[in-house]
């Protein structure tokens, strides 16, 4: 299977990251912020975001997944979470590749609150608002995405296409 034509280019992604980080820096000021990258899909986004910060910023990772192939399974699996020590009393900002039904970030938000986060917000590169089933708010969104299956820039289809530098629509995915 081949990914289709480019939907969002490398330079459009870079511009969105600059805008998002400016907003985040403006809103959080010098409060104790920790980015929580959702593995594996947010790996490129997280790596580019931390390098766009004008001052030191801490990051940790969580591995939470709900997709099987190109469909939401409706069930959220947690492989790992940050430790209490990494989260307690701090402002957590979930860094996610794409928010679809909202199940992944609803679950992760609950877990971070249970770990004692002072606040939890969400920064997603892509938002598919048309698909939402859970009442979650994406505070910082790079782009609204169409109701299609996207790959590239960390997003995969069965382990493939994460290495693309841009975002593409995959046709015929199951």
Q: Which listed residue (32, 100, 144, 156) is catalytic?
A: 100
Smallest gap from Cβ 124 to ligand 5GP, in A, equals: 9
Least CB distance to ligand 5GP at residue 55 (A)? 28
Under a CB-based contact definition with an 8 Å cutoff, are residues 148 and 169 in contact?
yes
Strand ranges (DSSP E) for the chain?
A: 3-8, 33-39, 58-68, 71-80, 91-99, 119-127, 140-144, 150-151, 167-170
Minimum distance of ligand 5GP from residue 26's CB (angstroms): 26
Tell me if residue 132 falls in helix, strand or coil: coil
Q: Active-site residue 58, yes or no?
A: no
Nearer to ligand 5GP, 115 or 155 (CB): 155
Which residues bind to ligand 5GP, rule: CB under 6 A?
Answer: 38, 41, 65-67, 72, 96-104, 149-151, 155-157
Q: Which is nearer to ligand 5GP, 47 or 88 (CB)?
A: 47
Percent helix / strand / coil, the chain, rounded to 5: 30, 40, 35
Query: Which residues have CB under 8 Å from 160's CB, separation 6+?
Result: 1, 151
Return the number of the residue (90 or 168) whose C-beta is nearest ligand 5GP: 168
Q: Which sequence positions are flagged as catalytic?
A: 100
């Amino acid at each position: 299977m081949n990914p289709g034509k480019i939907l969002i280019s490398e330079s459009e992604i870079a511009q969105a990251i600059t805008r998002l980080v400016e907003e985040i820096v403006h809103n959080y000021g010098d409060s104790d912020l920790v980015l929580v990258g959702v593995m594996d899909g947010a790996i490129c986004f997280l790596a580019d975001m931390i390098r766009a910060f004008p001052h030191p910023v801490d990051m940790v990772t969580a591995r939470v997944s709900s997709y099987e192939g190109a469909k939401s399974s409706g069930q959220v699996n947690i492989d790992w979470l940050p430790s209490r020590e990494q989260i307690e009393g701090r402002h957590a900002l979930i860094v996610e590749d794409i928010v679809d039904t909202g199940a992944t970030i609803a679950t992760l938000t609950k877990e971070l609150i249970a770990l004692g986060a002072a606040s939890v917000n969400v920064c997603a590169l892509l938002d598919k608002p048309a698909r939402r089933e859970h009442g979650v708010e994406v505070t910082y969104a790079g782009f609204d995405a169409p109701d299609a299956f996207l790959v590239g820039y960390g997003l995969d289809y069965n382990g493939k296409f994460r290495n693309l530098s841009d975002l593409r629509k995959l046709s015929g995915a199951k």
